[in-house]
């Protein structure tokens, strides 16, 4: 398995995946539509000895050409971001779900050995919780009434505070946004296809990916990139709710390695696998750590006390399955990597569009 197509290979994650594959002896072909919101007219660089096809994953002719003489596919092409998905519904469903369907239909005629698709932690909705007496809560969810009233934390039926715990792959999906719906559809379509056509298929459920190369002008994806854009322009990071919500942040180089391992490790076939750091961080903690790394600790986060439609309270990864099936172990932890990230931001053009994002959501009644 030497020739790999990476759809969305010019994106933030895709560039790192393509580089990881090239460095390990794979021949790489990249398919990317080069969306302005992501690339902003920038000069796109790809790894040496890789090939770029500019085109839309929904175009049958383009896809047919892209998969010619290919042994495996890493499918990253997707619209990304919870907030925007709640009002650009046709765009998200079209790219993510129709694009995946078009790719899979093409692979019926030109089969490959393995396909690995990027899924998302967003498919879980709220992460896994336990009651005070240790009972697992697979279906914990906040009521809209509680959220609008500023009651952010989750309670049991008896009124006890629920404890967030690492989320494993056995946790039932609970789709809280259009983005999550499309990612779950992508994941299931690829795994169903693999089973039906005897193609090894793997879905990687990515948690919050960070690192150099994130789109600093796209406010709908990458919380660290959003914070960095604000800080680089002398503005306080904006945080919805109270800032105590917890997330898992995984470095893009660890993610790229996980995709390579998903191509190589046969036991992974047929599985959906969490890819995270296995650690949890509060959002306000992350904002403060980044401000310190960027040398502007005075720019403390602005806690908005408002919620966005589609947001969840807590979700962080249990990565035991990734360790078992992929031999995956994260090596670039957030607290040890923010200096490198800050240095990259200082040498980049950071356009702050956070206020635009907030206004667009408010105008549509998606902030309360």
CATH code of the domain covering residue 181: 3.40.50.720
Structurally, the chain folds into a number of domains equal to 1
Task: Over range 264-274, report the average pLDDT.
Answer: 97
pLDDT at 41 over 70: no
Domain contains 328: yes
Q: Is 250 inside a domain boundary?
A: yes
Of 318 and 350, the one with more pLDDT: 318
Which residues does the annotation mark as catalytic?
A: 179
Q: Is residue 345 part of a domain?
A: yes
User: Per mean pLDDT, which range of 33-37, 124-128, 295-299, 306-310 is the poorest?
Assistant: 33-37
> Is the predicted pLDDT of residue 355 greater than 90, yes or no?
no
Most confident of the following: 30-44, 268-282, 347-361 = 268-282
The region of weakest confidence among 4-8, 34-38, 152-156 is 34-38
368 located within any domain: no
| Contacts (Cβ under 8 Å, ≥6 apart) of 25 | 2
Has residue 362 got a pLDDT over 90?
A: no
Query: Is residue 176 over pLDDT 60?
Result: yes
Extract the tokens encoding 268.
Answer: 């992974």
pLDDT, tens only, 140-158? 998 888 888 899 999 988 8
What does the pLDDT read at residue 48? 82
Percent of the chain with pLDDT over 70: 95
User: Is the pLDDT confidence value at 39 over 60?
Assistant: no
Residue 229 has pLDDT above 80, yes or no: yes
* Residues of the domain holding 29: 3-363
**Mean pLDDT of the 158-169 span:** 94
Asked if 160 and 131 touch (Cβ cutoff 8 Å), the reply is yes
pLDDT (average), residues 32-43: 68
pLDDT of residue 135: 92
Overall average pLDDT of the 321-331 stretch: 98
What's the pLDDT band for 366 if we cut at 50, 70, 90?
Answer: confident
Mean pLDDT across 316-341: 96
pLDDT of the residue at 294: 93
> Mean pLDDT in the chain?
92
Q: How confident is the model at residue 221 (pLDDT cuts 50, 70, 90)?
A: low
Confidence of residue 71 (pLDDT cuts 50, 70, 90): very high
């Amino acid at each position: 398995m030497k020739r790999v197509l990476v759809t969305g290979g010019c994106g933030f994650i895709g560039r790192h995946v393509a580089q990881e594959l090239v460095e390990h002896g794979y021949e790489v072909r990249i398919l990317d539509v080069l969306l302005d919101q992501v690339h902003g007219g920038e000069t796109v660089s790809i790894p040496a000895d890789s090939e770029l096809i500019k085109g839309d994953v929904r175009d049958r002719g383009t896809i047919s050409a892209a998969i010619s003489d290919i042994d495996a596919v890493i499918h990253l092409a997707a619209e990304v971001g919870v907030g925007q998905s709640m009002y650009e519904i046709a765009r998200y469903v079209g790219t993510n779900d129709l694009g995946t369907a078009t790719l899979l239909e093409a692979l019926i005629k030109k089969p490959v050995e393995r396909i690995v698709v990027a899924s998302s932690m967003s498919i879980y909705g709220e992460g896994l919780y336990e009651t005070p007496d240790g009972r697992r809560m697979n279906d914990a969810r906040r009521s809209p009434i509680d959220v609008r009233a500023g009651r952010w934390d989750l309670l049991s039926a008896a009124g006890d505070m629920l404890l967030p715990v690492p989320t494993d792959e056995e946790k039932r999906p609970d789709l809280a946004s259009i983005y999550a719906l499309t990612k779950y559809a992508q994941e299931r379509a690829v795994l169903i296809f693999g089973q039906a056509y005897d193609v090894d298929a793997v879905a990687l459920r990515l948690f919050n990916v960070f690192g150099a190369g994130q789109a600093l002008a796209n406010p709908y994806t990458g919380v660290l990139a959003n914070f960095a854009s604000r800080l680089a322009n002398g503005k306080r990071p904006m945080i919805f709710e109270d800032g105590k919500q917890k997330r898992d942040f995984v470095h893009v180089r660890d993610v790229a390695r996980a995709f390579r391992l998903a191509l190589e490790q046969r036991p992974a076939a047929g599985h959906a696998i969490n890819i995270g750091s296995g650690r949890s961080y509060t959002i306000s903690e992350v904002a403060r750590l980044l401000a310190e790394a960027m040398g502007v600790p005075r720019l403390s986060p602005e806690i908005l006390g408002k919620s966005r439609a589609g947001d969840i309270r807590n979700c962080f990864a249990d990565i035991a399955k990734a360790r078992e099936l992929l031999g995956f172990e994260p090596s670039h932890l957030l607290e040890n990597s923010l200096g490198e990230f800050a240095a990259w931001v200082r040498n980049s053009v950071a356009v702050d569009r956070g206020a635009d994002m907030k206004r667009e959501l408010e105008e549509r009644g998606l902030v309360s």
